[in-house]
């Protein structure tokens, strides 16, 4: 009797997106390494962020602005963008970038395969319009947003001729507690918006990703990636995956069909040798009498 195939094949439909955030450490070779690692992991895309600290925070919030300026080194140099884009093409992996202002969105248009809108910018209509008008796919994270805000953002993207919209259910906490994940939001948004919906992970918990895919049919999984524990954002908290951690998750999902196997009344062929070492039914001693002389 063969097991149901609907869950066994789901991995083939899931797109993993490796979020580099500021773990690039301002080093172009390190950026390329992220592309290599994401490609080797089997990711669909690698994602960077393009922001200018002075344009990201209001100077009127004096304490917050002053604190943010200390992280100016985390900006991705704009000159890196065309180089990363070309390298992604060479490595045959999609290049995505999150713009945090309208000028960045315009600059990125000819380099990215698709845009990602961060949760904090979901309510900024002008940025949504700028990305939508490029007619490239827009992936929108929904952290902190209520239904009305998400619905407004989706309608705005559609109104401005966005080619394709994909949503990422997200909990904007770093790290996110498993009890706050509310993965059923994936089902709700998928049914209401009739588009692909996934999970943006801040838990670094493999069971959350597994549940998002298998219980809620997430079509995208975004995760924060670091190479070696030395990334700037990795050092901020416990929300970034290391390659070996996420590799185990992705590899299991790819191999799950083999893991599940088919129902059988017989023992596994892998057990054939050990089968001879069982206790003999007559004297209870190992191995079976018929093989003792040969061992």
pTM strictly above 0.95: no
CA geometry: angle 89, 90, 92, nearest 5 deg: 60
Q: Is 77 helix (H, G, I), strand (E, B) or coil?
A: coil
Task: Say if 205 falls within a structural domain.
Answer: yes
Q: What is the pLDDT of residues 144-184, one digit of tens each?
A: 999 999 999 999 999 999 999 999 999 999 999 999 999 99
Q: Which residues of 20-49 are buried (b: 16+ CB within 10 A; e: fewer)?
A: bbbbbbeeeebbbebbebbbebebbbbbbb
All residues at 6 or more sequence positions from 245 whose CB lies less than 8 Å from its CB, including other chains: 204, 206
Task: Say if 126 falls within a structural domain.
Answer: yes
Q: Which residues pair with 223 in a beta bridge?
A: 18, 201
Q: What is the pLDDT of residues 82-119, one digit of tens each?
A: 999 999 999 999 999 999 999 999 999 999 999 999 99
Q: How many domains does the chain have?
A: 2
162 shares a domain with 276: no
Task: Say if 177 falls within a structural domain.
Answer: yes
Residue 195: exposure state from Cβ atoms within 10 A (0-12, 13-18, ≥19): middle
Which residue's entry shows tokens 């003792």?
A: 292
282 shares a domain with 138: no
């Amino acid at each position: 009797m063969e097991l149901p195939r609907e869950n066994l094949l789901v991995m083939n439909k899931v797109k993993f997106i490796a979020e580099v955030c500021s773990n690039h450490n301002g080093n172009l070779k390190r950026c390329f390494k992220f592309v290599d690692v994401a490609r080797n992991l089997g990711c669909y895309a690698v994602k960077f962020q393009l922001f200018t600290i002075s344009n990201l925070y209001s100077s009127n919030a004096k304490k917050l602005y002053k604190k943010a300026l200390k992280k100016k080194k985390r900006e991705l140099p704009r000159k890196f963008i065309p180089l990363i884009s070309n390298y992604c093409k060479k490595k045959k992996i999609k290049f995505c970038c999150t713009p945090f202002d309208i000028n960045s969105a315009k600059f990125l248009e000819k380099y990215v395969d698709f845009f990602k809108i961060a949760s904090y910018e979901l309510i900024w209509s002008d940025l949504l319009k700028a990305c939508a008008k490029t007619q490239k796919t827009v992936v929108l994270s929904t952290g902190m947003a209520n239904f009305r805000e998400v619905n407004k953002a989706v309608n705005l993207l559609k109104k401005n001729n966005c080619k394709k919209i994909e949503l990422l259910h997200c909990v904007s906490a770093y790290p996110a507690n498993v009890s706050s994940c509310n993965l059923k939001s994936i089902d709700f948004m998928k049914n209401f918006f009739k588009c692909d919906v996934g999970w943006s992970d801040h838990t670094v918990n493999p069971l959350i990703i597994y549940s998002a895919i298998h219980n809620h049919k997430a079509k995208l999984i975004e995760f924060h990636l670091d190479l070696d524990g030395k990334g700037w954002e990795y050092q901020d908290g416990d929300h970034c995956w290391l390659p070996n951690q996420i590799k185990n998750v992705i590899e299991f999902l790819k191999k799950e069909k083999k893991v599940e196997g088919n129902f059988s009344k017989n023992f596994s062929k892998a057990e054939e040798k050990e089968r001879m070492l069982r206790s003999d039914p007559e004297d209870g001693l190992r191995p079976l009498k018929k093989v003792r002389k040969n061992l």
